[in-house]
Structure 1
Amino acid sequence: MNSTKKEIPTCEVCQQPANQTCGGCKLVYYCSKAHQKLGWREGHKFKCCAFKIQYSDTYGRHMVATRDIKQGEMILKEKPAALGPKMTCPPHCLGCGKKLEPTKVKDIYDFYKCTSCNWPMCGPECEKADIHKAECKIMTDRKYKCNIKYEHVDKAEAAYCVIAPLRVLLMRDTNPRQYENVLALESHLEDRMSTPLYIVLKANLVTFVLQVLGLPFDEETILKVASIYDTNSFEVRSPDGSRKLRAIYVTASMMNHSCTPNTRHIIVGDDYNLAFIATVPIAKGELITATYTQSLWGTLDRRKHLRTTKCFDCECERCKDPTELGTYLGSIYCSICNGPGVFGTEKPPMLVSSNPLDEAAPWKCEKCDHFILSRQMFWGNNALSEELKKFKKDGPNGFEDFILKYSQTLHPNNHLVVQAKLALIKIYGNYKGYMLSELSDHLLQRKIDLCHDLLELADKLEPGWTRFRGTLLLDLQAALTVQTKREFEAEKLTKSGAQDQLMESMVLLQEAANILRVEPGMKEIIETKIQEVAQQLDTGDSNDDQ
């Protein structure tokens, strides 16, 4: 009988027996701390990660966990391979990416212009930025001058469509290895070539690169680069909203999409590093996924967005489920079953898609034979969405009226109702005239109820440590703390009861802290809130400064 010996791990550096694993990937062994440090310096730091890239006929290239990943763990942090303005946008600085404000010179408002190529910039320092050098040189050599002039602050300029693709094309000479990495990404050019946008790009971008700049590329390569950008880029923005760009991250592009992903991403630092954080525990061998759409959109809108912008049809578990994991996010009540007195207090049946993976499939009642055509759902969604957009976000009345007006039509979790509820949560407690200290007891309770409603939804659609859940917890904690103070002052609560409720508020705050500490600008805000609640617990009092 053949016996098998258990293989003894060996040190990555000296090949001697070892029992210490790398703390990052858990795949490499070392015999000592000294050799671990040596191995890190000699190259393991470039290979150490909790994932690997695989290929299959089902998923194409995708990312898989090579070990168990903890909730909240940073899986990947990556610098952008390419960075540039959106295809159409208000004037932005090509150096730092900041949205530009005009200056007044001799009664004329205009932007500072690069002294060489005439593109709008922040000033002399930005026109010397490394990211602008190659494009500026080629435009200057060809005697091209940008002609963007100030008209009004938010006027979108289509001229910016050439910048991001041009920066990738110029990498062929300035950074050939990175150029090849980007060109190896999926483009879906064949799906985009006949679209109205690419017909325009063929006339504008291709003409600019070939005729204006005289660069030695063929038409297909130019359009392929533009399509790679559209397929793979992430929107990146600064915390203050002054910079809104798009960037390509080569490794992150290997991550598959899911409408219920197990990661979230944040932008870290001024260099626009992209970091992915596990929102739930991820088991070894499990797919690591991100979302390329909005999780609070219904299936019709999500799948249409993915088909239009990313050129694929999502078939994740949520998309296949007519009820969207029991949330009914895209559903409306059946108008037949919801007639007066038909079901009494029983919740009436919903209209759900007869085939969620076919956008043309009719929507049928869960109980009776009533159905409507999918185009009617599209029309209804679009009409109500436009109605929502008209409401000013400085007051709650329009959103409250919307929810009441359609309470017999839309499920309480319908994505349009959810948008209205989100707007109300932001207004109550944060806007002039509706600060927490100014809210009536009724409106304070309304904010609390809305937070509970959406937290229940978050548990199904964005489970775990998601930004959506974290921000809801912050809002809920602040409202509960004020409510506790009021009830204590009205002698509805004893001092002991008030402290118990403050302790519950602290638990919510600690969970929010676990989720949001890594978000830009949030660490200091959360620590201040924790100190405030801790002080209230120590004194047995609660102040109203939330």
Structure 2
Amino acid sequence: MEYLKREIPVCEVCQQPANQTCGGCKQVYYCSRAHQKLGWREGHRLKCCAFKIQISDTLGRHMIATRDIKQGEMILKEKPAVLGPKICSPALCLTCGKRLEPLSDTCDFYKCTKCQWPMCGPQCEKSDVHKPECNAMCNRKYRCRIKYESPDKVESAYCVISPMRVLLMKESDPLQYDNIMNLESHLDERINTPLYLVLKANLVTFINQVLGLPFDEETILKVASIFDTNSFDVRSPDGTKKLRGIYLTSSMMDHSCLPNTKHVFVGDEYHLAVIATVPIAKGELITATYTQSLWGTLERRKHLKTNKWFDCTCARCQDPTEFGTYLGNIYCSLCNFLGNENVSRPMLVSTNPLEENAPWKCEKCDHSILSRQMVSGNNVLNQELSKLDKRGPKDFEEFIGKYSQILHPRNHLVVQAKLALVQIYGNYKGYTLSELSDNLLKRKIDICYELLEIADQLEPGWGKFRGTLLLDLQAAMTMQTKRNYESGKLTKEGTQDQLMQSMGLLQEATNILKVEPNMKETLEMKIQELNGLLDGDGDVNSNIV
């Protein structure tokens, strides 16, 4: 809603002079709390937000800030229009999404007593979420045949559930059905892909012949394509539930490989909360990322083209150095062979990052390679990285050393290995902070600082990546400080300074992560622990030793 600019603000309800603004949109004035409540009831709640949706030929539908938005501010909180399993999934409950384990007495899952789909138990079986699909299947005497075979078995039968839920809305909730069907699908581009040829045979057959629902093939496949284009990956904080959901308003955010928001899922109904990671000025695009920040440009653009069906042309994708991080680059093999190792070694960079087949050329010499060589090399090393033993640091340290003449310290493959080391050092059995040697403790701290530099450039502001790194860094620094104090390497004053530095890191981590589900208690506990090492005046507590 557009509001007229006035020299003297007036109340939206009574048009009298006013000095109280709406705390949400900051665009409407009220003369009193009573009129603010009245205005909210009379319709402002439907218009109050910090953004508006616009349409352009280049961006399509996108979200624009209607006022300055502060860092850390929640821009939007939205309930899913529809939630369901991914196309292929391990056995999970159709109601709550929990991954299922077989019952000990039957060696099989609990089954819905009507349609026989695996469920958590009677309570989930009777939920409103499951009733429409259960009735549709039972009316046609369909019974699911999924049985427990192995813990890692993935079932393709789940491909029918999410599209079916949308199609059934045409009768139960026609307005929501229309809202979903108005989203972009890119079906024309997907229709002849291998996946959609399979969906033609399986999904369309299930909807038409098994359930007898009156939808044509194009409509059924369009729903599947709308999911692939617009859905968010939804995970519970403990990782036991992995679903996908469509959020009508949030799906309007434009993509950027350098986004200015993050999102978290809140509560049992998986409300999606969009939060500003940096200050966003009035008139700026509000952006999210639909890929992984720590992938190189080749991998990000391929993922976006394959899954979201568009070519990203953001500033990061256009920069062959990815803002100077060289995340997707490798050393020039010719310069590396001829040059001095003590001199900064030049990189191979794409001659046109927006063209996947463009050759890669050395920044210094004339050496170049074909794009397919880069893709092939990345694929081989990615496969090797995925097979490393994740129970300890040995394989990851060896991987970094093995390819140090090819992959520079900020290459995305090395970064993934280092991120694994940060998680192992200080957290895994045998490698807890108290068990780490001084050298490994320093190694963890050094890696945290390296990764934080990358986070500042590729995921600036209050992103989750930065928050978790700060949490790991402060814990390691606190342990290092305690050891140095106990061994006499630090004076009481020096110890105080370092503990205060750790507290600063922890407070920043708290600002970033306090919106994450189930993190509040952990953060409060860590602050109490660190406060325990300092007395009320910020001096070192005698109990540190």
TM-score of the aligned structures, taking structure 2 as reference length: 0.97
User: 493, 510, 515: which one pairs with 2:490?
Assistant: 493
Q: Give the AA of the match of 1:55.
A: I
In structure 2, the partner of 1:101 is 101
User: 397, 400, 416: which one pairs with 1:400?
Assistant: 397
Rounded to whole Å, the distance in 1 between the matches of 2:241 and 2:139 is 29
User: 523, 527, 531: which one pairs with 1:530?
Assistant: 527
Rounded to whole Å, the distance in 2 between the matches of 1:124 and 1:33 is 47
Residue 400 to residue 61, structure 1, CA distance change in 2 (3 Å): same
Q: Give the AA of the match of 1:75.
A: I
In structure 1, the partner of 2:10 is 10
In structure 1, the partner of 2:382 is 385
Rounded to whole Å, the distance in 1 between the matches of 2:96 and 2:395 is 39
Q: CA deviation at 1:38?
A: 1.1
> Which SS does the other structure have where 2:16 is aligned?
coil
> Which SS does the other structure have where 2:533 is aligned?
helix
RMSD over aligned Cα atoms: 1.3
Residue 301 to residue 18, structure 1, CA distance change in 2 (3 Å): same
Q: CA deviation at 1:544?
A: 8.4
How many matched pairs?
538
What does the per-residue CA deviation read over 1:18-39, in whole Å, with 9 as the maximum and x for residues that have no partner? 3322111011121222101111
User: 449, 452, 456: which one pairs with 2:449?
Assistant: 452
> Which SS does the other structure have where 1:403 is aligned?
helix
In structure 1, the partner of 2:421 is 424
Comparing 392-401 and 363-372, the one that deviates more: 392-401
Q: CA deviation at 1:405?
A: 1.1
Contact between 1:12 and 1:39, CA under 8 Å: does it hold in 2?
A: yes
What does the per-residue CA deviation read over 1:301-339, in whole Å, with 9 as the maximum and x for residues that have no partner? 000000000000000000000000100001110111112
Contact between 1:485 and 1:543, CA under 8 Å: does it hold in 2?
A: no
Contact between 2:422 and 2:447, CA under 8 Å: does it hold in 1?
A: yes
Q: CA deviation at 1:60?
A: 0.6
Q: CA deviation at 1:408?
A: 1.1
Rounded to whole Å, the distance in 1 between the matches of 2:148 and 2:544 is 46
Rounded to whole Å, the distance in 1 between the matches of 2:426 and 2:447 is 13
Contact between 2:74 and 2:276, CA under 8 Å: does it hold in 1?
A: yes
> Which SS does the other structure have where 1:54 is aligned?
strand
In structure 1, the partner of 2:69 is 69
Q: CA deviation at 1:7?
A: 4.4
What does the per-residue CA deviation read over 1:330-374, in whole Å, with 9 as the maximum and x for residues that have no partner? 11101111125x235220100000100011011100010000111
> Which SS does the other structure have where 2:92 is aligned?
coil
Comparing 289-298 and 33-42, the one that deviates more: 33-42
In structure 2, the partner of 1:374 is 371
Contact between 2:533 and 2:544, CA under 8 Å: does it hold in 1?
A: no
Q: CA deviation at 1:11?
A: 1.9
Contact between 1:437 and 1:544, CA under 8 Å: does it hold in 2?
A: no
How does 1:165-184 map onto structure 2 within 5 Å? 165-184=163-182
In structure 2, the partner of 1:205 is 203
Q: Give the AA of the match of 2:264.
A: I
Tell me, yes or no, if structure 1 residue 224 matches structure 2 residue 227. Answer: no
Q: CA deviation at 1:13?
A: 1.4
How does 1:459-538 map onto structure 2 within 5 Å? 459-538=456-535
What does the per-residue CA deviation read over 1:391-422, in whole Å, with 9 as the maximum and x for residues that have no partner? 11111111111111111111211000000000
Q: CA deviation at 1:16?
A: 2.7
How does 1:341-356 map onto structure 2 within 5 Å? 342-356=339-353
Rounded to whole Å, the distance in 1 between the matches of 2:407 and 2:483 is 35
Residue 543 to residue 217, structure 1, CA distance change in 2 (3 Å): farther
Which structure 1 segments of 5+ residues have no match?
A: none
Which structure 2 segments of 5+ residues have no match?
A: none
Contact between 2:228 and 2:307, CA under 8 Å: does it hold in 1?
A: yes
Contact between 1:484 and 1:502, CA under 8 Å: does it hold in 2?
A: yes
What does the per-residue CA deviation read over 1:12-64, in whole Å, with 9 as the maximum and x for residues that have no partner? 21233333221110111212221011111222222211000001111110000
In structure 2, the partner of 1:22 is 22
Q: CA deviation at 1:385?
A: 0.8
TM-score of the aligned structures, taking structure 1 as reference length: 0.97
Rounded to whole Å, the distance in 2 between the matches of 1:346 and 1:281 is 39
Q: Give the AA of the match of 2:486.
A: E
What does the per-residue CA deviation read over 1:481-506, in whole Å, with 9 as the maximum and x for residues that have no partner? 00001111110101111011000000
Q: CA deviation at 1:542?
A: 8.0
Contact between 2:18 and 2:29, CA under 8 Å: does it hold in 1?
A: yes
What does the per-residue CA deviation read over 1:268-300, in whole Å, with 9 as the maximum and x for residues that have no partner? 000000001100000000000000000000000
